[in-house]
Amino acid sequence: MNSPSPLLQDFSDRLSPMVVKEMRQGLRTRFFSVAIILAIREINRLRALAISSDSTPSLTDAKLS
């Protein structure tokens, strides 16, 4: 089985135990879950917008044809 990278493995050793505890508690909150879901939705919306704008011909392309 693959072990985590050394950077992730030593993560809790590099920070104070109180900081690690607070971070873990924060990750369990509803606010964090909602924020992540909204961020992922926004990223996907922006990606879809970028893809759709790339596939439509621009005015300069239409004039060249």
- Averaged over successive runs of 10 residues, the pLDDT of the chain (65 residues) comes to 61 77 86 91 93 68 54
Q: Find where tokens 């926004």 sit.
A: 42
Residue 58 pLDDT: 58
Residue 5 pLDDT: 65
Q: 31 is in which domain, residue-wise? A: 8-54
- Tell how far CA 33 is from the center of its chain: 12
Q: Are 31 and 25 in contact (CB under 8 A)?
A: no
pTM: 0.49
Residue 27 pLDDT: 84
Q: Would you say residue 59 lies in a domain?
A: no
Amino acid type, 7: L
Q: Can you read off the two tokens belonging to residue 46?
A: 């922006």
Q: Whole-angstrom Cα distance, residue 36 to residue 22?
A: 18
The number of folded domains in the chain is: 1
Q: Would you say residue 39 lies in a domain?
A: yes
Three-class secondary structure of residue 15 per DSSP:
coil
Residue 46 pLDDT: 94
